[in-house]
Protein backbone atom coordinates (compact mmCIF):
# COMPACT_ATOMS: atom_id res chain seq x y z
CA UNK A 1 0.00 0.00 0.00
CA UNK A 2 1.07 3.59 -0.67
CA UNK A 3 2.06 6.25 1.85
CA UNK A 4 0.76 9.74 1.04
CA UNK A 5 2.92 12.71 2.04
CA UNK A 6 1.62 16.27 2.39
CA UNK A 7 4.01 19.21 2.82
CA UNK A 8 6.15 17.25 0.38
CA UNK A 9 8.31 20.12 -0.88
CA UNK A 10 9.25 21.50 2.55
CA UNK A 11 12.39 20.82 4.55
CA UNK A 12 10.76 18.03 6.57
CA UNK A 13 8.74 16.55 3.71
CA UNK A 14 11.75 16.16 1.43
CA UNK A 15 13.63 14.26 4.15
CA UNK A 16 10.61 12.02 4.77
CA UNK A 17 10.24 11.20 1.08
CA UNK A 18 13.95 10.53 0.55
CA UNK A 19 14.07 8.12 3.48
CA UNK A 20 10.89 6.25 2.55
CA UNK A 21 11.82 5.92 -1.12
CA UNK A 22 15.33 4.85 -0.14
CA UNK A 23 13.89 2.04 1.96
CA UNK A 24 11.66 0.82 -0.86
CA UNK A 25 8.31 2.16 0.36
CA UNK A 26 5.76 3.21 -2.29
CA UNK A 27 5.32 6.96 -1.80
CA UNK A 28 2.92 9.50 -3.25
CA UNK A 29 3.53 13.23 -2.77
CA UNK A 30 0.74 15.80 -2.80
CA UNK A 31 1.69 19.24 -4.10
CA UNK A 32 -0.06 22.15 -5.76
CA UNK A 33 2.39 22.25 -8.67
CA UNK A 34 4.05 18.93 -9.57
CA UNK A 35 6.05 20.61 -12.35
CA UNK A 36 7.92 22.73 -9.80
CA UNK A 37 8.17 20.18 -7.00
CA UNK A 38 11.62 18.89 -8.02
CA UNK A 39 11.22 15.73 -5.95
CA UNK A 40 13.48 12.71 -6.21
CA UNK A 41 12.97 9.88 -8.66
CA UNK A 42 10.79 7.06 -7.39
CA UNK A 43 8.04 9.17 -5.83
CA UNK A 44 4.59 9.44 -7.42
CA UNK A 45 3.82 13.16 -7.53
CA UNK A 46 0.17 14.22 -7.78
CA UNK A 47 -1.49 17.62 -7.99
CA UNK A 48 -3.80 18.73 -5.22
CA UNK A 49 -4.56 21.57 -2.86
CA UNK A 50 -5.29 20.70 0.77
CA UNK A 51 -7.64 23.67 1.02
CA UNK A 52 -9.74 22.67 -2.01
CA UNK A 53 -11.69 19.42 -1.75
CA UNK A 54 -12.41 19.46 -5.49
CA UNK A 55 -8.72 18.79 -6.19
CA UNK A 56 -8.56 15.83 -3.78
CA UNK A 57 -9.93 13.13 -6.06
CA UNK A 58 -9.39 9.40 -6.47
CA UNK A 59 -5.99 9.92 -8.11
CA UNK A 60 -4.74 11.35 -4.81
CA UNK A 61 -5.98 8.57 -2.53
CA UNK A 62 -6.08 5.48 -4.75
CA UNK A 63 -4.19 2.68 -2.97
CA UNK A 64 -3.25 4.86 0.01
CA UNK A 65 -3.50 3.27 3.44
CA UNK A 66 -1.74 5.93 5.54
CA UNK A 67 -0.85 9.60 5.28
CA UNK A 68 1.50 12.12 6.79
CA UNK A 69 -0.33 15.32 7.69
CA UNK A 70 1.72 18.51 7.52
CA UNK A 71 0.06 21.26 9.63
CA UNK A 72 -0.63 23.74 6.86
CA UNK A 73 -3.92 25.43 6.04
CA UNK A 74 -6.60 23.06 4.84
CA UNK A 75 -5.91 20.11 7.15
CA UNK A 76 -9.58 19.65 8.03
CA UNK A 77 -10.54 19.60 4.35
CA UNK A 78 -7.74 17.18 3.51
CA UNK A 79 -8.43 14.75 6.35
CA UNK A 80 -12.14 14.81 5.57
CA UNK A 81 -11.46 13.89 1.94
CA UNK A 82 -8.92 11.23 2.93
CA UNK A 83 -11.29 9.65 5.43
CA UNK A 84 -14.10 9.61 2.88
CA UNK A 85 -11.74 7.81 0.50
CA UNK A 86 -11.02 5.13 3.11
CA UNK A 87 -7.74 6.38 4.55
CA UNK A 88 -7.91 6.02 8.32
CA UNK A 89 -4.30 6.05 9.56
CA UNK A 90 -2.49 9.36 9.96
CA UNK A 91 0.80 10.64 11.32
CA UNK A 92 0.41 14.28 12.28
CA UNK A 93 3.10 16.93 12.66
CA UNK A 94 1.98 19.19 15.50
CA UNK A 95 3.78 21.31 18.09
CA UNK A 96 4.80 20.94 21.72
CA UNK A 97 2.59 23.97 22.40
CA UNK A 98 -0.48 21.81 21.71
CA UNK A 99 0.24 19.88 24.92
CA UNK A 100 -0.34 23.10 26.91
CA UNK A 101 2.35 22.18 29.41
CA UNK A 102 3.06 25.80 30.29
CA UNK A 103 0.82 28.81 30.93
CA UNK A 104 2.44 30.55 27.96
CA UNK A 105 1.02 27.89 25.63
CA UNK A 106 -2.64 28.45 26.48
CA UNK A 107 -4.16 30.46 23.65
CA UNK A 108 -0.83 31.02 21.91
CA UNK A 109 -0.80 31.17 18.12
CA UNK A 110 0.92 27.81 17.90
CA UNK A 111 -1.35 26.09 20.42
CA UNK A 112 -4.53 27.29 18.74
CA UNK A 113 -3.40 26.31 15.25
CA UNK A 114 -1.96 22.90 16.12
CA UNK A 115 -4.81 21.92 18.45
CA UNK A 116 -7.16 22.37 15.48
CA UNK A 117 -4.85 20.27 13.28
CA UNK A 118 -4.82 17.47 15.84
CA UNK A 119 -8.59 17.60 16.28
CA UNK A 120 -9.14 17.29 12.54
CA UNK A 121 -7.56 13.85 12.74
CA UNK A 122 -8.50 12.55 16.19
CA UNK A 123 -12.16 13.40 15.65
CA UNK A 124 -12.28 11.06 12.63
CA UNK A 125 -10.15 8.03 13.53
CA UNK A 126 -8.40 6.29 16.42
CA UNK A 127 -5.49 5.22 14.25
CA UNK A 128 -3.20 8.21 14.58
CA UNK A 129 0.21 9.23 15.86
CA UNK A 130 0.91 12.84 16.77
CA UNK A 131 4.46 14.19 16.86
CA UNK A 132 4.97 17.37 18.88
CA UNK A 133 8.40 18.88 18.23
CA UNK A 134 9.66 21.82 20.19
CA UNK A 135 11.38 24.71 18.44
CA UNK A 136 12.92 23.89 15.07
CA UNK A 137 16.59 24.65 14.49
CA UNK A 138 15.46 25.96 11.09
CA UNK A 139 13.92 28.94 12.91
CA UNK A 140 17.49 30.20 13.34
CA UNK A 141 17.59 30.81 9.60
CA UNK A 142 15.87 34.10 10.49
CA UNK A 143 19.42 35.22 11.35
CA UNK A 144 20.82 34.18 7.98
CA UNK A 145 20.59 37.55 6.23
CA UNK A 146 22.27 39.46 9.05
CA UNK A 147 25.02 36.87 9.40
CA UNK A 148 25.75 36.59 5.67
CA UNK A 149 25.79 40.39 5.40
CA UNK A 150 28.15 40.74 8.36
CA UNK A 151 25.67 42.51 10.63
CA UNK A 152 25.34 41.70 14.33
CA UNK A 153 22.53 39.49 15.58
CA UNK A 154 20.12 41.56 17.64
CA UNK A 155 18.15 39.37 20.03
CA UNK A 156 16.37 39.54 23.39
CA UNK A 157 16.86 37.08 26.26
CA UNK A 158 20.24 35.87 24.99
CA UNK A 159 20.82 33.73 28.10
CA UNK A 160 17.56 31.82 27.64
CA UNK A 161 18.08 28.17 26.64
CA UNK A 162 16.17 26.18 24.05
CA UNK A 163 16.63 22.68 22.56
CA UNK A 164 16.28 23.22 18.79
CA UNK A 165 15.56 20.09 16.77
CA UNK A 166 17.08 19.30 13.38
CA UNK A 167 14.45 18.94 10.66
CA UNK A 168 16.04 15.63 9.66
CA UNK A 169 15.33 14.23 13.14
CA UNK A 170 11.70 15.31 12.85
CA UNK A 171 11.56 13.55 9.48
CA UNK A 172 13.14 10.39 10.88
CA UNK A 173 10.55 10.34 13.67
CA UNK A 174 7.75 10.72 11.09
CA UNK A 175 9.15 7.84 9.06
CA UNK A 176 9.32 5.63 12.16
CA UNK A 177 5.71 6.44 13.02
CA UNK A 178 4.55 5.77 9.46
CA UNK A 179 6.31 2.41 9.25
CA UNK A 180 5.44 0.94 12.66
CA UNK A 181 2.23 0.28 14.58
CA UNK A 182 4.11 0.79 17.86
CA UNK A 183 3.26 4.48 18.10
CA UNK A 184 -0.44 4.41 17.19
CA UNK A 185 -2.60 6.38 19.61
CA UNK A 186 0.33 8.31 21.09
CA UNK A 187 1.18 12.02 21.14
CA UNK A 188 4.96 12.20 21.40
CA UNK A 189 7.06 15.23 22.35
CA UNK A 190 10.48 15.53 20.69
CA UNK A 191 13.27 18.11 20.87
CA UNK A 192 16.91 18.50 20.02
CA UNK A 193 19.46 16.68 22.21
CA UNK A 194 20.62 19.68 24.26
CA UNK A 195 19.33 22.96 25.64
CA UNK A 196 21.61 25.80 24.53
CA UNK A 197 21.50 29.48 25.34
CA UNK A 198 21.02 31.82 22.44
CA UNK A 199 24.64 32.87 22.96
CA UNK A 200 25.65 29.23 22.47
CA UNK A 201 23.39 28.90 19.43
CA UNK A 202 25.12 31.85 17.76
CA UNK A 203 28.49 30.33 18.68
CA UNK A 204 27.53 27.03 17.02
CA UNK A 205 26.72 28.84 13.79
CA UNK A 206 29.95 30.87 14.04
CA UNK A 207 31.97 27.67 14.44
CA UNK A 208 30.27 26.14 11.40
CA UNK A 209 30.97 29.08 9.11
CA UNK A 210 34.45 29.76 10.46
CA UNK A 211 34.06 33.35 11.58
CA UNK A 212 32.82 35.29 14.56
CA UNK A 213 29.26 36.60 14.73
CA UNK A 214 28.62 39.66 16.90
CA UNK A 215 25.57 39.39 19.18
CA UNK A 216 23.80 42.39 20.69
CA UNK A 217 21.19 41.87 23.38
CA UNK A 218 18.13 44.07 22.93
CA UNK A 219 15.03 44.59 25.05
CA UNK A 220 11.72 42.83 24.35
CA UNK A 221 10.23 46.17 23.31
CA UNK A 222 13.06 46.75 20.84
CA UNK A 223 12.45 43.28 19.40
CA UNK A 224 8.74 44.02 19.05
CA UNK A 225 9.49 47.21 17.14
CA UNK A 226 12.09 45.63 14.87
CA UNK A 227 10.04 42.50 14.15
CA UNK A 228 6.70 44.26 13.58
CA UNK A 229 7.30 44.68 9.86
CA UNK A 230 7.99 40.97 9.29
CA UNK A 231 6.27 38.90 11.98
CA UNK A 232 2.58 39.00 13.01
CA UNK A 233 2.01 40.41 16.50
CA UNK A 234 0.66 37.13 17.99
CA UNK A 235 3.81 35.31 16.85
CA UNK A 236 6.05 38.00 18.31
CA UNK A 237 4.25 37.72 21.64
CA UNK A 238 4.53 33.93 21.57
CA UNK A 239 8.26 34.06 20.89
CA UNK A 240 8.94 36.59 23.63
CA UNK A 241 6.96 34.53 26.15
CA UNK A 242 8.91 31.43 25.18
CA UNK A 243 12.32 33.07 25.42
CA UNK A 244 11.40 34.77 28.71
CA UNK A 245 10.29 31.51 30.30
CA UNK A 246 13.34 29.56 29.15
CA UNK A 247 15.58 32.14 30.76
CA UNK A 248 14.73 30.71 34.19
CA UNK A 249 13.75 27.20 33.09
CA UNK A 250 15.64 25.85 30.05
CA UNK A 251 13.82 23.58 27.63
CA UNK A 252 13.54 19.98 28.85
CA UNK A 253 15.15 17.61 26.37
CA UNK A 254 12.77 15.01 24.86
CA UNK A 255 15.00 12.61 22.89
CA UNK A 256 13.99 11.30 19.49
CA UNK A 257 15.96 8.10 20.12
CA UNK A 258 12.99 5.89 21.16
CA UNK A 259 11.43 6.59 17.77
CA UNK A 260 14.44 6.79 15.49
CA UNK A 261 16.92 4.47 17.18
CA UNK A 262 19.70 7.07 17.01
CA UNK A 263 20.70 10.11 19.08
CA UNK A 264 19.34 13.44 17.96
CA UNK A 265 21.55 15.56 15.72
CA UNK A 266 23.24 18.40 17.58
CA UNK A 267 22.84 22.07 16.75
CA UNK A 268 26.48 22.03 15.68
CA UNK A 269 25.57 19.41 13.08
CA UNK A 270 22.55 21.44 11.96
CA UNK A 271 24.74 24.54 11.59
CA UNK A 272 27.24 22.60 9.46
CA UNK A 273 24.39 21.30 7.30
CA UNK A 274 23.24 24.89 6.71
CA UNK A 275 26.57 26.65 6.26
CA UNK A 276 25.64 27.91 2.80
CA UNK A 277 22.54 29.73 4.06
CA UNK A 278 24.69 31.68 6.49
CA UNK A 279 27.10 32.82 3.81
CA UNK A 280 29.90 30.30 4.27
CA UNK A 281 32.25 29.89 1.35
In a domain, residue 220? The reply is no
Look at the chain and report how many structural domains it folds into.
1
How far, in whole angstroms, is CA 164 from its chain's centroid? 11
In a domain, residue 144? The reply is no
In a domain, residue 64? The reply is yes
The per-residue pLDDT for range 158-175, each reduced to its tens digit, is 999 999 999 999 999 999
In a domain, residue 124? The reply is yes
Identify the burial level of 164 via C-beta atoms within 10 angstroms of its C-beta, where 0-12 means exposed, 13-18 middle and 19 or more buried. Answer: buried
Q: What average pLDDT does range 104-125 have in this prediction?
A: 97
C-alpha atoms less than 13 angstroms from C-alpha of 115 in its C-beta half-sphere: 12
Q: What percent of the chain has pLDDT over 70?
A: 100
Q: What percent of the chain has pLDDT over 90?
A: 98
Contact at 8 Å (CB) between 27 and 17? yes
| Closest-CA residue to 31 (of 2, 55, 3, 6) | 6
Provide the pLDDT for residue 280.
73
| Closest-CA residue to 45 (of 77, 93, 91, 2) | 2
Q: What average pLDDT does range 255-273 have in this prediction?
A: 98
In a domain, residue 44? The reply is yes
The boundaries of the domain holding residue 19 are 2-136+166-191+252-261
Provide the pLDDT for residue 186.
98
In a domain, residue 224? The reply is no
The per-residue pLDDT for range 200-237, each reduced to its tens digit, is 999 999 999 999 999 999 999 999 999 999 999 999 99
Please report, for the domain that includes residue 176, its CATH number.
3.40.50.720
Contact at 8 Å (CB) between 96 and 132? yes
In a domain, residue 107? The reply is yes
How far, in whole angstroms, is CA 227 from its chain's centroid? 21
In a domain, residue 214? The reply is no
Q: Taking 70 as the threshold, does the pLDDT of residue 281 lie above it?
A: no
Amino acid sequence: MTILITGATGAVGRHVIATLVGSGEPVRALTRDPQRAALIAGVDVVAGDMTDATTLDGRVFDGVDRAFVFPSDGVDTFVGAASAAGVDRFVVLSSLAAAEEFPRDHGSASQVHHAAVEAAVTSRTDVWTILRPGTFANNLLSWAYAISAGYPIRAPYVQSAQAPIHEADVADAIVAALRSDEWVGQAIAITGPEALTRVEQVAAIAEAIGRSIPLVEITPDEFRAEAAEFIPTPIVSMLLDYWRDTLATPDRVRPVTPLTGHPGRTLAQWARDHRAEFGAA
